[in-house]
Amino acid sequence: MGEFELIARLRERLEVDPAARPAAAARVLTASGDDAAVTLPAGATATSVDLAIEGVHFTRETAPLDAIGHKAMAAALSDLAAMGAAPGEAYVQVGVPAGLAEGEVIELADGVAAVARDHGVTVAGGDISGSPVLVVAMTVVGHAPDETALVRRSGAREGDAIVVTGELGAAAAGLLLLESPRLRQAVVPDTAEALIERQLRPTPRVAAGAALAGAGAEALIDLSDGLVADAGHVARASGVGIELDAERLPIAPGVAEVAAAAGVDPVRLAAGGGEDYELLAALAEESVGAATRALEALGLRLRSIGRVVSGTSAILRGARGDGIEVEGFDHFREQAAPRSDRAEPA
C-alpha cells in the first residue's frame, strides 16, 4: 500500500461527522487533503506540540498501538488543559517503520481518534512517512475567548496554595509493572490493570483545566516531567519558590505496594515519576474552596500539597521538613539510562 492509499484510509478513521459538531465544522473549513488546513479561529489560540519516539517515550513491546496513539494525543491535550484552553484542532505526523502492517497503523490512528472524539478535537491535518522507528509528532490547537482566559506558568505569587488534581504515581507504578511483570503479584489484578492503564492511556484533565482557570488559578501546569520538576518550571517562570509537602501527596492506590515490591520509595514515584498528566495550580488561599468544589463536580479530587514562598525553585519536604531530592524526566538523560531509572534518586 502506498502513501496516498494509506492516507485515504486514515482520513476515514479520523474524520468527524460535521453535523455532530457544528461549531468545530464552522471553524475548520478545509481539513486534510490540501496543502494546508484552513481554519477560522476566533479569540485567542493556544498551540502545543509533543513528540513521541519509539525507544524513548514508548516501546512496542509494552505499549499496544492504540495506546501509543491514545497517549500521544492525550499528552498533547494535557498541555492545552494546562492553559485552561478548549481543545480544537490536531495535526498528526506519523513516521511508520517498515515492519508495521497497515492494520497496525490504523490501530494507532484509532487510539488517536478515540481521545480526539472524547474531547471534541478535529484532526485537521497530518503527514505520514516511512521511518526507521515509530514516530508520532502531535500538534494541538486550543481556543479561548481571549488571552486573559488562558493561564500561564508565570503567575504564581508568594502566599498562594499549590494544589494538584487526582492522584500521583500511578503512571510510574504502571510502567514498573509493564517492565517487570513479576511485580504484579504485589497488588490485586484490578489495581495492577488500573495502574497500567494510567501509564498506557492517560486522561488529559481538560475539564479540570478549564475549571481551575475559571476558579482563578494564578499558574497552571500539567504533570508530565514529574511533580517536583514541573513545580520547578512554575517556580522559575513565576520567579518564586515552591515548597511541596511529601506527606500530603495524593498517592494513587497500589503505588505503595508496587514501590515496596520494586524496592523504591513511593514518594519518588509520586513526585518524580512523571506522566500522570494531572494538573498543578497555584491558587490564592481564598480560591481553594471554590476550586475544590468545581473539581468535585467533575468527579476529581483537588489536594492542597504545598505553598508558594520566596525563592527560585521547587523543593519537596519530608516529615521532618528536610528536602528530598527527586529526579524528574529529562528526554536526553532518558536516552542513556534504562527508562525505569527516572524514578531513582539523582
Which residues, numbered 152-181, are part of the site for its own copies (CB under 8 A)?
A: 152-154
> Which residues inside 104-133 make contact with its own copies, applying CB under 8 A?
124-133
Contacts of 277 (CB under 8 A, 6+ apart): 74, 75, 78, 171, 202, 203, 204, 205, 222, 223, 224
Report DSSP state, residue 269.
H
| Residue 2 near its own copies by CB under 8 A | yes
- From 16-24, 168-176, 215-223, 260-268, span contacting its own copies (CB under 8 A): 215-223
The three-state secondary structure class of 63 is: coil
Other CB atoms within 10 A of residue 212 CB: 28
CB 306 within 8 A of CB 242: yes
Amino acid identity of residue 251, one-letter, is I
Residue 298 to residue 130: CA distance in whole angstroms? 41
CB of residue 203 to its own copies, shortest distance in Å: 17
- Of 20, 23, 26, 29, the residue at the interface with its own copies (CB under 8 A) is 29
CB 209 within 8 A of CB 144: no
CB of residue 140 to its own copies, shortest distance in Å: 8
- From 10-18, 109-117, 268-276, 327-335, span contacting its own copies (CB under 8 A): 327-335
CB of residue 255 to its own copies, shortest distance in Å: 25
C-alpha grid cell, residue 268: 519518588
CB of residue 225 to its own copies, shortest distance in Å: 9
Residue 29 to residue 32: CA distance in whole angstroms? 10
- Of 66, 70, 79, 116, the residue at the interface with its own copies (CB under 8 A) is 79
> Which residues inside 266-285 make contact with its own copies, applying CB under 8 A?
none
> Which residues inside 218-237 make contact with its own copies, applying CB under 8 A?
220-222, 237
- Of 10, 24, 48, 243, the residue at the interface with its own copies (CB under 8 A) is 48
Contacts of 132 (CB under 8 A, 6+ apart): 97
